[in-house]
Copies of this chain bind each other. A is one copy, B any other.
């Protein structure tokens, strides 16, 4: 593997994409893991996945941040129990109500603050433009613009950069690359609603299962229902 050059902060939600991101970052960088909870229904389960993946990679530099003020702001079914999480309609257009407005900007701003303190150079985020349900803050041009903003708002010479290795991937490619890089996807968690056995029916489960089905691989997680999404 050669000498690792510097430190990369990886945003590890606990899902499959961030798990692959960690695998990719681990090839070239010393890892620091950032987990952000925001009062989402499954936050304890996601934190467990975060810690399990950190243990897998031997990551000691961990930061867990609560931004439940996003819950206070509301506007999303992930954080507002009054809004029902819709069952997956993968082909429907428009922005789903699970969207937390400007969430990635909030999370990345925290990551940049931390990066300045620990002198990290890179911030890895597993955003995917295709599978992002149209969230504006998951698009390549958003991250490009965010990087320009970082260069203006941090100390000269900081050179902190957001890196999006999965930006053009689909979930099938996430599965394929995770297997190729031995990413511990069996430790990851994707379900929006359940914390023991995944539901198999929420948007997040549907996207994940379709990825495995298209890759012709069995998901190591257990599901209550396992519909055919292909």
Q: Are B110 and A106 in contact (CB under 8 A)?
A: yes
For the complex, what is the distance from the CA of A152 to the CA of B147, rounded to whole Å?
12
Chain B CB within 8 A of A219 CB: no
> Which A residues, 127 to 148, have Cβ-Cβ distances below 8 Å to chain B?
136-137, 139, 141-142, 144-146, 148
Chain B CB within 8 A of A80 CB: yes
Instruction: Determine the residue in chain B with the shortest Cβ distance to A104.
Output: B153
Q: Are B116 and A75 in contact (CB under 8 A)?
A: yes
Q: Are A145 and B136 in contact (CB under 8 A)?
A: no
A12, chain B: closest CB distance, angstroms? 16
Q: Are A117 and B76 in contact (CB under 8 A)?
A: yes
Q: Are B100 and A113 in contact (CB under 8 A)?
A: yes
For the complex, what is the distance from the CA of A134 to the CA of B47, rounded to whole Å?
37
- Size bracket, chain A contacts: 35 or more
Q: Are B112 and A102 in contact (CB under 8 A)?
A: yes
Contacts of A154 in B (CB 8 A): 101-102, 136-137
> Which A residues, 61 to 76, have Cβ-Cβ distances below 8 Å to chain B?
63, 65-67, 69-70, 72-76
Binding site for B on A (CB under 8 A): 63, 65-67, 69-70, 72-77, 80, 82-83, 86, 95, 100-106, 109-110, 112-114, 116-119, 136-137, 139, 141-142, 144-146, 148-156
Instruction: Name 20 interchain pairs, CB-CB below 8 A, sorted by A.
Output: A65-B72, A69-B110, A75-B113, A75-B117, A83-B118, A100-B113, A101-B112, A101-B117, A101-B155, A102-B116, A103-B113, A104-B153, A106-B106, A136-B156, A137-B153, A137-B154, A139-B152, A142-B149, A145-B149, A146-B152
Q: Which 10 pairs across A and B sit closest by C-beta, in order of nearness?
A: A101-B116, A75-B117, A137-B153, A65-B69, A142-B152, A145-B149, A106-B109, A145-B152, A105-B109, A102-B113
